[in-house]
Amino acid sequence: MKADFQVGIIGAGFGGLVAALRLQKENRNSFVIFERASEVGGTWRDNVYPGCACDVPSHLYSFADELNPNWSRAFSKQPEILEYIKLVAEKHNLRNKIRFNTDIVGLKFIEEHGLWEITDQHGIITQVKLVISATGPLNRPNTPKFEGMELFQGKVFHSAEWDKNYDLNGKRVAVIGTGASSIQIVPNIAPIVGQLTVFQRTAAWVQMRPDHAFSGFAKGLFKTAPAINKLYREMIYWRNEFFGKAFVGNETINRIGSKLSLRHLSKQVSDPETRRKLTPNYKMGCKRVLVSNDYYPAFNRLNVTLETTSIQEWNAKGIITADGRQHDFDAIVLATGFVAAEIELYTTISGLNNRDLLSEWRQTGAQAYRGTTVSGFPNLAFILGPNTGLGHNSVVHMMESQMNYLVDYLKLLENQGPNGYLDVKADVQAKHNQQLQTQFEGTVWQSGCQSWYLNREGKNTTLYPRLTAQFRKELRHLDEGAYELVG
């Protein structure tokens, strides 16, 4: 039986487009992309909060074959990143490969024909040989349930669902959370709101952000000499890999990094009590290290308060903290992150013998082979699947590593004939995950802190435990022996 397309990609964010660009490059044009929204861009389309920017330098956080000489800054803001993604999609005529406004509601593997049936919300079924699921790990807002939350009379929204129509000017605003999103929001709304209270549960490690604008000369140079652009990108990449060692066991680099961060704090915050509250009490890197030059100074403003007493409940007027104080607000921003390690899939995924991926992962924690394929679910691959996240470098590099692997996968799949499939062996996957978990030993992520990297059982199902160069090496080629080849 012939499938409608060789490949079905789910998601038109960075991951889906990385997959599509690589397939095109390999001259594999039989693919379709399903996108639930009406535009490309994924997280860079959805997150529009004030100050939203990438904390990985733009020259690195871009498609390897579509380097952009025109980045205006070292760390570009969300509108520029989204514009870049749109331009790349247009340049490569990817828009007509995308089915926009299409929600996938079912994925079913048909063993007899070695293909997947993809069902959308209209009941339309598309058959493909390989599904590449690229829906991203950080798109389910974590909305904590505070007691009395429903009583609050003011405005509430999550950082990832920013209401641009709500005017914050002069308002009394609370921001709950002090992660990567919050530290961008806080300094950007502080100058316009009347009063801002930042509720911090755990202080973050914050590093200086080496941001700067690119001059016309620099942009011209990147344009006329792409080799310089590439070299610059390589330099950023290897610098990040070097500092990444601080997370995977190099105590010296970790100590130096921690000192630099504390110096950054003491230079930027004048009040000793506020400084004390902002000083982290866990090892640097255990939670994501943040980069900002304007977060700390926001606490020097008279209209900004750092609140470290925990939230007891909400009421009609605002928030009551555990010490019984009432804090009145017009608006409360939940910068409370995303649900990443707790598994929820965007659709049912039914593999061999009707195995259900969600129920299996709920028992074991999310796991895959090399973060990409899953035993019992042949011809299915995840871009940024379990244990492929990073705390130190560009995830686009990880996605592109995965596509190296998947190009080989497709070739081998073709060799199995029209009804063939490739299923990673269960014992290979189990051994791989056992080894992967032992690689966390000695890393900062096992130094004892709570973070979105860990699931409820405390297992790290989100991060890759080593440096990205190692991941690239491991996924350079498909390891055929790991797979059951069914033809």
Task: Give the residues lining the site for ligand NAP (CB under 6 A).
Answer: 53-55, 138, 144, 159, 176-182, 199, 201-202, 287-288, 311, 335-338, 450, 452
The distance of closest approach from Cβ of residue 356 to ligand NAP in the complex, given in angstroms and rounded to an integer, is 28
Q: What residue is closest to ligand NAP based on CB?
A: 179
DSSP reduced 3-state for 213: strand
The distance of closest approach from Cβ of residue 223 to ligand NAP in the complex, given in angstroms and rounded to an integer, is 25
Is 267 exposed, middle or buried, given 0-12, 13-18 or 19+ CB atoms closer than 10 A? exposed
The distance of closest approach from Cβ of residue 214 to ligand NAP in the complex, given in angstroms and rounded to an integer, is 19
Q: Which is nearer to ligand NAP, 102 or 181 (CB)?
A: 181
Q: Which is nearer to ligand NAP, 54 or 478 (CB)?
A: 54
Q: Contact 393/288 with Cβ under 8 angstroms?
A: no
Residue 252, phi then psi, degrees to nearest 5 = -65, -50
The distance of closest approach from Cβ of residue 185 to ligand NAP in the complex, given in angstroms and rounded to an integer, is 9
Q: Which is nearer to ligand NAP, 114 or 177 (CB)?
A: 177
The distance of closest approach from Cβ of residue 198 to ligand NAP in the complex, given in angstroms and rounded to an integer, is 10
The distance of closest approach from Cβ of residue 291 to ligand NAP in the complex, given in angstroms and rounded to an integer, is 8
Strand 115-120 relative to strand 125-133: parallel, antiparallel, unpaired? antiparallel
Q: Which is nearer to ligand NAP, 306 or 357 (CB)?
A: 306
The distance of closest approach from Cβ of residue 138 to ligand NAP in the complex, given in angstroms and rounded to an integer, is 5
Q: Which is nearer to ligand NAP, 5 or 61 (CB)?
A: 61
Q: Which is nearer to ligand NAP, 99 or 140 (CB)?
A: 140
The distance of closest approach from Cβ of residue 68 to ligand NAP in the complex, given in angstroms and rounded to an integer, is 17
Calpha distance 389→382 (Å, rounded): 12
**DSSP state, residue 203:** P
The distance of closest approach from Cβ of residue 106 to ligand NAP in the complex, given in angstroms and rounded to an integer, is 29
Q: Contact 454/460 with Cβ under 8 angstroms?
A: yes
Calpha distance 64→225 (Å, rounded): 16
Given phi > 0 = left and psi -120 to 50 = alpha, else beta, which region is 10?
beta
Q: Which is nearer to ligand NAP, 100 or 146 (CB)?
A: 146
Calpha distance 20→28 (Å, rounded): 9
Q: Which is nearer to ligand NAP, 132 or 291 (CB)?
A: 291
For helices 226-244 and 251-268, angle between their N-to-C axes, nearest 10 degrees = 100
Q: Contact 380/130 with Cβ under 8 angstroms?
A: yes
Calpha distance 487→480 (Å, rounded): 14
| One-letter amino acid of 129 | K
| One-letter amino acid of 281 | N
Q: Which is nearer to ligand NAP, 29 or 310 (CB)?
A: 310
The distance of closest approach from Cβ of residue 144 to ligand NAP in the complex, given in angstroms and rounded to an integer, is 3
Q: Contact 25/65 with Cβ under 8 angstroms?
A: yes
Q: Which is nearer to ligand NAP, 214 or 453 (CB)?
A: 453
Alpha helices in 365-476, H assignment, sequence order? 395-415, 426-438, 468-474
For helices 78-91 and 14-25, angle between their N-to-C axes, nearest 10 degrees = 30
Residue 311, phi then psi, degrees to nearest 5 = -80, 125
DSSP string for 271-310: -HHHHHHTS--S-TTSSPPEE-SSHHHHTTSTTEEEE-SP
